[in-house]
Chains A and B, each alone.
Chain A
Amino acid sequence: MELEITSEKCIACRACEFACSYHMDGDFSSIGSSIMIHRDERKDYFGPILKRSKDILLGRPERIEILKPGQSTTGGAAANKPILMRGPCDLCPDEKVPFCVAICPTGCLRKKE
Chain B
Amino acid sequence: MALEKVFNNRILLADLTTGKCEERELGDKLAREQLGGAALNLELLRRFPEGEPLVIGTGLLTSTFCPGAGVGVVTAKSPRSGLVVHHPFIGMIGIELKLSGFDFIVVRGRSEKPVRLWLHDELAEVSPAGEVKELGTNQVTGRIRDEYGDMNIHAFQVGPAGAAGSPLAMISESCFGGYDRAGLGLALAEKGLYALVVRGLGNLEVADGFFPESAKLMQETAQSLKGKTGIKEILRLWAKEDSFLPALEKVTHRHSACYSCPFPCRTFGFLREDPARKLETDASNPGCLLIDPQGVLALSFLGNDYPHVYEHCTQLGVDPAAVGLMLKAEGIGDKEAADKRIEALVKEKKDLINSNQNNFHGVTPWPDGGDLSAALVQAAGVFSNGIPPAVLPLSTPPFSLPSDPVEKAALVLERTALGLILGVCPLLLLSTPVITPARLATLVKLATEWDGIGEEELKAKAKSLIGQTLKLAAPREAISEGLKPAGFDAAWAGLKKRYVEG
Measured CB to CB, the closest approach of chain A to B308, in angstroms, equals: 16
Would you call B34 an interface residue if the criterion is a C-beta within 8 Å of the partner chain's C-beta atoms? Answer: no
A11-48 interface (Cβ within 8 A of B): 11-15, 18-19, 21-22, 25-32, 38-46
What is the interface size of chain B, counting residues whose CB is below 8 A from a CB of the partner?
A: 53
Would you call B26 an interface residue if the criterion is a C-beta within 8 Å of the partner chain's C-beta atoms? Answer: no
Cβ of B280 and Cβ of A45 under 8 Å apart? yes
Cβ of B65 and Cβ of A13 under 8 Å apart? no
17 A–B contacts from the bound complex (CB under 8 Å): A13-B256, A13-B261, A13-B262, A14-B259, A15-B259, A18-B63, A26-B205, A26-B206, A28-B99, A43-B280, A44-B256, A75-B280, A102-B211, A102-B215, A105-B67, A105-B218, A105-B222
Would you call B221 an interface residue if the criterion is a C-beta within 8 Å of the partner chain's C-beta atoms? Answer: yes
Separation of A40 and B409 alpha carbons in the complex (Å) = 39
In the A-B complex, the 4 residue pairs with the closest CB atoms: A105-B262, A29-B203, A62-B278, A105-B222
Would you call A89 an interface residue if the criterion is a C-beta within 8 Å of the partner chain's C-beta atoms? Answer: no
Known pairs A27-B204, A30-B200 / 13 extra A-B pairs, C-beta < 8 Å = A15-B218, A22-B65, A28-B63, A28-B99, A32-B203, A41-B175, A43-B280, A43-B283, A46-B256, A61-B254, A62-B279, A76-B280, A103-B65
Cβ of B65 and Cβ of A11 under 8 Å apart? no
Supposing A41-B175, A43-B283, A105-B221 touch, asked if A14 and B92 sit within 8 A by C-beta, the answer is yes
Cβ of B204 and Cβ of A28 under 8 Å apart? yes
Stretch in B285-293, B385-393, B396-404, B411-419 touching the partner: B285-293
Binary CB contact string for chain A from 47 to 68 against chain B (1 if under 8 A, 0 otherwise): 0000000000000111000000
| Contact partner, B203, options A28, A40, A106, Cβ 8 Å | A28
Would you call A79 an interface residue if the criterion is a C-beta within 8 Å of the partner chain's C-beta atoms? Answer: yes
Residue in chain B with minimal CB distance to A27: B203
Interface size class for chain A?
A: 35 or more
Q: How many A-B residue pairs have CB under 8 A?
A: 124
Cβ of B211 and Cβ of A19 under 8 Å apart? yes
Would you call B75 an interface residue if the criterion is a C-beta within 8 Å of the partner chain's C-beta atoms? Answer: no
B117-149 interface (Cβ within 8 A of A): 138, 141-142
Cβ of A29 and Cβ of B99 under 8 Å apart? yes
Separation of A105 and B205 alpha carbons in the complex (Å) = 23
Cβ of B151 and Cβ of A79 under 8 Å apart? yes
A residues in contact with B254, CB < 8 Å:
44, 46, 61
Chain A interface helix/strand/loop/mixed = mixed
Cβ of A42 and Cβ of B257 under 8 Å apart? no
Cβ of A12 and Cβ of B256 under 8 Å apart? yes
Cβ of B260 and Cβ of A29 under 8 Å apart? no
A77-113 interface (Cβ within 8 A of B): 79, 99, 102-103, 105-106
Measured CB to CB, the closest approach of chain A to B64, in angstroms, equals: 6
Q: Which residues of A approach B to under 8 Å, CB–CB?
A: 11-15, 18-19, 21-22, 25-32, 38-46, 60-62, 75-76, 79, 99, 102-103, 105-106
B residues in contact with A22, CB < 8 Å:
65, 206, 211
A residues in contact with B151, CB < 8 Å:
38-41, 79
Separation of A46 and B200 alpha carbons in the complex (Å) = 20
A residues in contact with B211, CB < 8 Å:
19, 22, 99, 102-103
Cβ of B255 and Cβ of A11 under 8 Å apart? yes
Separation of A75 and B283 alpha carbons in the complex (Å) = 12
Would you call B253 an interface residue if the criterion is a C-beta within 8 Å of the partner chain's C-beta atoms? Answer: yes
Residue in chain B with minimal CB distance to A61: B278
Interface centre among A14, A46, A61, A75 (most CB of B within 10 A): A14
B249-284 interface (Cβ within 8 A of A): 253-262, 264, 268, 270, 278-281, 283-284
Cβ of A27 and Cβ of B205 under 8 Å apart? yes
Would you call B174 an interface residue if the criterion is a C-beta within 8 Å of the partner chain's C-beta atoms? Answer: yes
Residue in chain A with minimal CB distance to B92: A14
Cβ of A44 and Cβ of B287 under 8 Å apart? yes
Cβ of B206 and Cβ of A27 under 8 Å apart? yes
Would you call B201 an interface residue if the criterion is a C-beta within 8 Å of the partner chain's C-beta atoms? Answer: yes
A residues in contact with B287, CB < 8 Å:
44
Interface centre among A12, A18, A21 (most CB of B within 10 A): A18
A residues in contact with B64, CB < 8 Å:
28
Separation of A7 and B412 alpha carbons in the complex (Å) = 35
Cβ of B204 and Cβ of A43 under 8 Å apart? no
A residues in contact with B9, CB < 8 Å:
none
